[in-house]
Structures are given as C-alpha cells and as structure tokens.
Amino acid sequence: MDSLFSSILNTVAPLRLRKIKENSLTPWYNEHTRTLKRAARKMERSWRKTKLEVFRIDWRESNLSYRKALKTARSDYFSSLLEENKHNPKYLFNTVAKLTKNKASTGVDISQQHSSNDFMNYFTSKIDTIRDKIVTMQTSAIVSHQIACYRSPEEQFHSFSTIGEEELYKLVKSSKPTTCMLDPIPSKLLKEVLPEVIDPLLTIINSSLSLGYVPKTFKLAVIKPLIKKPQLDPKELVNYRPISNLPFLSKILEKVVSSQLYSFLEKNGICEDFQSGFRPYHSTETALIRVTNDLLLSSDCGCISLLVLLDLSAAFDTIDHNILLHRLENFVGINGSALAWFKSYLSDRHQFVAVNEEVSYRSQVQYGVPQGSVLGPLLFTLYMLPLGDIIRKHGVSFHCYADDTQLYISSQPGETYQFEKLAECIVDIKKTGFRGHRCHQIQSVSRSDGHCSHPDPVRIQTRWWIST
C-alpha cells in the first residue's frame, strides 16, 4: 500500500524543493491595523523627506495609534479564542503554554550536540540498566492470586468489531494532520483524497481487527528526542525522553481499538477508580483536589498525615510485554482474536532515532509501549491494575496520576502503628512487583499541633528496583 502511494505520487507529483513563505504568526493582524500601519509609515516617510516638525508629531501620533490598535486586536483575538474553547482544557492549556513559553529555551539544535546513534544508544542502554537492577521474579501469576477479580467470569472480550466507512471517515477527519516521515503521503493530503481511497483503507483496518494481526509497517516508530524541561542542559542525554512518531494510519487503527476496549472497560467497571491519568473527565485537578481534601480533613481532626510520593522510572519504556499480556487476559478478560491482536501489536516492534534528517540504526523494542501512541497510555493503566488492590489490602489511601502514585495515611499523635502500615505497604509493593520507583515522603500536621512531638518519619529507601 505504501509503495503504491509513493509510486503514484512520484509520477503525478514528483518531489521538488521549493522555498515557501512562512504563514503569518500574527492572526490578529486585521485590515484596521494594516491601515493604521500604512498611515504611520506614510507620516514617517514625509518627516524623513522634509524634516518638518509637524510631520514628526503626526508620525509619532500615528505610530502610537497603530501600536495601541495592534495591542487591542491581539488581546481581543486571544480573549475570543479562550471564550470559544472554554470547554476544551487541552486547547486552553496549549494556548496558554504558547503565550508563556520561554523563547530563549526553544530552538535547541540537538544534532550539534549528539548524533542520532548517540540517542539510540542512550535510550537502549537506559532500559537495559533498569532491567539489570530489577529483582527477578518467576511470573506475575503470583500477583494474580493476591488481588481481587476485576470482572465477572462471563464478561469476556473476544474480538473487535469491524467499522464502516462513516466511522472511518469521521476518525480520519477529526485526527490532527500530523505527518510522520514513514507516511507515504502527507496526512493533510490523505484527508483531501479520503473519499477516493477510503475503501482500501477500510479493508486494511477491518482485516487487522478481524485477523488479530498488526501490519509490520505499523510497528516501526521514529523516535524524536524531546528535552524534559526547557531549563535543562541540552548537552546531557539524560535530560531527553524518547517520543515515538508513528504512521498516521497506524494511529487511526489504534484509535479504533482504544475506543472499543475503553467501552468494555467502562461497562464492566475495570478501570481503577483512583487513576486520574489518561481518562475522560479526570485530570491533575481531580487528583489534587481529592488528595488535598483528604489531608485537610485529617488535619481538622487533629491527625498527623504522612504522604509518600512514588514515581516510576521510565514507566512506559520498561513494561514487560509478557506480563502485560497476562494481565490483559486474566485481569481484563481479553482473549481470542482480540488477545492475538495485542500480541501482534507488541511483538516485532522496531524503532530508530531521527535528528534533523539524520537517522540511527534500527533497534528492536523488547520492552515498553510507545510514548506518543494512542494505545500506550491505556495499556499502561491496565498494566498497573494490581497496584490498587495491593495498596487497599493495607488500609492505605492512594491516588494515581499516570505513573505517579501518592500513598498517604493519617493517625492521631502517638499511634505509630498506622505509619507502620504504610511502610509494610511499600514493602509489599516491592515484593509483588512494580519496578523502578523513586520515593519521597512528606509529613503533614495542622498549625495548632505544630509544636507537638511526632513520630519519626517512616524510614523508606529512597530508590529501589523491583520486578513486575
């Protein structure tokens, strides 16, 4: 399919280099501001030609009017934009981020610091290092006997449903026109010619769903190194995370699978109630409100609270495929061609790093799910399903956001045994298998009790590596 598209394009529209004019970066610039700018420039030319004071004054006043109108137009543009999208948090966040970003931190030419092979070697060795430090365990089946069942026995997800032209059309049209270097044609062009090619695309999607097979070309990812924070040193490889760019059509297929799987999870109540990441109507705000509210209520009752923050190291990249498949089958109830599809999706994946037109060698993906994929976040939350019941067994409160877990417990002053529960919970998590946590603890007391003596904070190793 890809070669056919490329062949046709090379015939009817051969690739040529053209220098294009960059689109306007000031969409608020309108006819009114353009007229004022012309008037100001006209006064400026008159003054420079005659050096008369009257033209200098007119130029100054015209220039002030232009700048004031430009500022007002910019303000009105963004006010209207925010008002129109007030129910779209993602769009609002991206808009605010663009307005407040540090311009000095952008435009780092990472290719001058490191080659694509340097990045590929680092990302690969990082996962190998984490895996080497993991305590080996026989199988995650040990965990399955210690946690609650997530579904009734009769609820099974045997196969995916095929889709029709209308559903595929809506999915493609509603998707962002992001193009990967692996795409045979730009996704924007694909959207324009969609009515002409929708039949073969539909055949590819439905064949994958029915046969439980993911095409090999859909399992190749282009890794784009992304610096974690703008203020970090771009010369240090440790400050980058690998983001996978996948073919446009593969993301459409993942959207179909994700939609059907999530409907099954919601219908059967399989999702973790206290996981606020990657779910509709959940966010960092819901996680923060719940944890803060619980701590404040405990403080009002005169209790001391201990909050432990757990952060998984390289969470997406260190997922064990065999354990993930085991949980999909035994905890979620996926089997048949649906399970075969996930086995195909996770197996024989490859990736390479691309940095400013330089590409690295290809590396086989042994662990993890792609960061930047559609299915990755959902599969990660299913991978983490046993964690909730392990924590509940100890009577410890918790809340998760993606790979960050907050454990907290409250007690009256002097009741140190409550804090011992928290320590035992963390030890149990370590034994039953969630690897690579960074661990931090915070003690919370009310202002009125700040002078009281409190038990020593629970002694917890700050970093440990465990198998899943």
Q: Are strands 350-355 and 220-227 parallel, antiparallel or unpaired?
A: parallel
Joined tokens for residue 263? 């409907």
User: Measuring CA to CA, which residue among 468, 430, 465, 396 is closest to residue 132?
Assistant: 465
Average pLDDT over residues 310-334: 88
Query: DSSP labels for 154-219?
Result: T--B--PPP--HHHHHHHHHHS-----TT-SS-HHHHHHTHHHHHHHHHHHHHHHHHHT---GGGG
Joined tokens for residue 305? 């609270």
Tens-digit pLDDT profile for residues 148-204: 555 555 689 999 999 999 999 999 999 988 888 899 888 998 999 999 999 999 999
Which amino acid, 212? G
Q: Please determine, for residue 134, whether its predicted confidence score (pLDDT) is greater than 90.
A: no
Residue 116 Cα distances to 123, 142, 223, 289, angstroms: 11, 40, 9, 42
Q: How far is Cα of residue 86 from the mean position of the Cα atoms in its chain?
A: 22
User: Measuring CA to CA, which residue among 440, 2, 317, 321 is closest to residue 190?
Assistant: 2
Task: Give the domain ranges of the chain.
Answer: 26-98, 116-445
pLDDT at 195: 93
Residue 83 Cα distances to 33, 79, 148, 260, angstroms: 23, 6, 45, 33
More confident residue, 453 or 316: 316
More confident residue, 106 or 81: 81
Tens-digit pLDDT profile for residues 197-229: 999 999 999 999 999 999 999 999 999 998 888
Q: How confident is the model at residue 448 (pLDDT cuts 50, 70, 90)?
A: low
Tens-digit pLDDT profile for residues 37-89: 999 999 999 999 998 999 999 999 999 999 999 999 999 998 888 888 888 87
pLDDT at 463: 37
What whole-number distance in Å separates Cα of residue 381 and Cα of residue 266? Answer: 13
**Burial (Cβ within 10 Å: 0-12, 13-18, ≥19) of residue 450:** exposed
User: Measuring CA to CA, which residue among 216, 208, 219, 249 is closest to residue 341?
Assistant: 208
Tens-digit pLDDT profile for residues 383-394: 998 899 899 999
User: Measuring CA to CA, which residue among 3, 341, 347, 295 is closest to residue 158?
Assistant: 341
Which stretches within 85-159 are classed as H helix?
89-100, 116-132, 141-144
pLDDT at 221: 95
Q: How confident is the model at residue 461 (pLDDT cuts 50, 70, 90)?
A: very low
pLDDT at 462: 36
Query: Which residue, chain included where needed, has tokens 């085991």?
Result: 326
Q: How confident is the model at residue 293 (pLDDT cuts 50, 70, 90)?
A: very high
Q: How confident is the model at residue 332 (pLDDT cuts 50, 70, 90)?
A: very high
pLDDT at 42: 92
Looking at the chain, the whole-number percentage of residues with pLDDT higher than 70 is: 82
Average pLDDT over residues 437-455: 54
b/e code 163-178 from CB counts within 10 Å (16+ = b)? beeeebbebbeebeee
Per-residue DSSP letter, 229: S
Q: Please determine, for residue 468, whether its predicted confidence score (pLDDT) is greater than 70.
A: no
Q: How confident is the model at residue 5 (pLDDT cuts 50, 70, 90)?
A: low
Q: How confident is the model at residue 359 (pLDDT cuts 50, 70, 90)?
A: very high
pLDDT at 1: 60
Tell me what the pLDDT averaged over the chain comes to.
83
CB 234, CB 209: distance < 8 Å? no
pLDDT at 416: 74
Beta bridge partners of 444: 305
**Burial (Cβ within 10 Å: 0-12, 13-18, ≥19) of residue 203:** exposed
Q: How confident is the model at residue 24 (pLDDT cuts 50, 70, 90)?
A: low
Residue 411 DSSP SS3: strand
CB 294, CB 397: distance < 8 Å? yes
Q: Please determine, for residue 20, whether its predicted confidence score (pLDDT) is greater than 80.
A: no
pLDDT at 22: 52
pLDDT at 45: 93
Tens-digit pLDDT profile for residues 242-284: 999 999 999 999 999 999 999 999 999 898 999 998 888 888 8
Q: How confident is the model at residue 118 (pLDDT cuts 50, 70, 90)?
A: very high
More confident residue, 73 or 139: 73
pLDDT at 453: 43
What whole-number distance in Å separates Cα of residue 270 and Cα of residue 261? Answer: 11
What whole-number distance in Å separates Cα of residue 31 and Cα of residue 37? Answer: 10
